[in-house]
Amino acid sequence: MDTQTDSKIDTRTDSKIRLLLRILRNPIVNLLVFYYLMSKARDIGFAHLLSPEIAPNQVQSLIGGVLIVANLLLVYFSWGHFVERRRISELALPPLGREIGIGLLLGFGLMTTCVLIAIAFGVYRIEGLNWQNLVAGVTGFVLLVPISEELIFRGVVFRILEGVFGGWLALALSSVVFGLIHMGNEGESLAGIAGIVCVYGPMLAAPYMLTRHMWVGFGLHAAWNYTMGKVYSVNISGAEAEGLFKASLTGPELLTGGSAGMEGSLIGIVVGITFTVVTLILAVRRGTIVPPSWKHKAGSGVR
């Protein structure tokens, strides 16, 4: 009798779990809940591990940043494995070193290209050096921001939208979300937000669409931000930065980006769009653009 009762209870419990998983796998529910969990994990970690009171020096800040990133990856893999029931192929280990290296070179090269163009136009001037800022700039915050944003906005928002609407529409929608999130940044301008939506959101999603991995995006995002703020002392999304070069970015706002910095300038926009277009052309030729779910056919899809 007890065995039969226990069996019925187990059956009802299993049914409830299966129902809950079906609800959580709905794309809209999946997107909202997964986004919330990842954002909450980042914000709690930031508040408890990277505040000036808890991490007053660079070493403690770096340790805190590593711990937060590790926790974010744990949440990401756990959700993918237990809820989505899928292989986390976008974070496959074999291409990690090579693709992160490519991303770092791209981020440094693209921002350096922007600065060289600004020098040619006479709006960026180097006035001295601050060598100590180059090393001091490597903090937990610098590590956390690009990795957490890539996991949340490309790994969660773009990937889930892509599975429903296909690559092109997901590119547009996720870039809008990415831009709106930056509206709260102090010093950010309308031009900067427009640049993030139309240029830098697509610029960061394009490598994922090409490689089907997130590693290039991690490296690109980190090197772009670090090179911009900690090397060339250019505002990052409206936030003032002091880096290796004592420099001034003055002149027409069209070329300087105003308070938004290089990301709000015509220079940054042209460089970003050029990179994005080239990357997406390569993705089309490689056949890695995901079609909308209603166009999926047996045996078709991304190679």
Question: What pLDDT digit, counting tens, does each position of 179-206 carry?
Answer: 988 887 666 677 778 888 999 999 999 9
pLDDT at 295: 80
Mean pLDDT, range 276-294, rounded to an integer? 96
- What DSSP string runs through 14-82? HHHHHHHHHHHHSHHHHHHHHHHHHHHHHHHHHHHHSSTTT--SHHHHHHHHHHHHHHHHHHHHHIIII
Looking at the predicted structure, is the pLDDT value of residue 12 above 70? no
pLDDT tens digits for range 135-166: 777 888 888 999 999 999 999 999 999 999 99
pLDDT tens digits for range 43-70: 999 988 888 778 788 888 899 999 999 9
- Of 179, 150, 176, 181, give the one whose Cα is nearest residue 165: 176
pLDDT at 3: 56
State which H helix or E strand residue 129 sits in: strand 124-129
pLDDT tens digits for range 273-284: 999 999 999 999
C-alpha pair distances (Å), 34 with each of 26, 28, 271, 294? 11, 10, 33, 23
pTM as predicted: 0.90
Asked if residues 263 and 237 have their Cβ atoms less than 8 Å apart, the reply is yes
Looking at the predicted structure, is the pLDDT value of residue 264 above 60? yes
Q: Identify residue 264 by its one-letter amino acid code.
A: G
200: tokens are: 């830098």
* Cα gap 172→201, rounded to integer Å: 8
Q: Identify residue 296 by its one-letter amino acid code.
A: H
Tell me the average pLDDT of the chain. Answer: 89
122: tokens are: 């006479």
- Of 252, 143, 257, 250, give the one whose Cα is nearest residue 196: 257
Looking at the predicted structure, is the pLDDT value of residue 84 above 70? yes
pLDDT bin (cut points 50, 70, 90) of residue 1 is very low
pLDDT at 299: 47
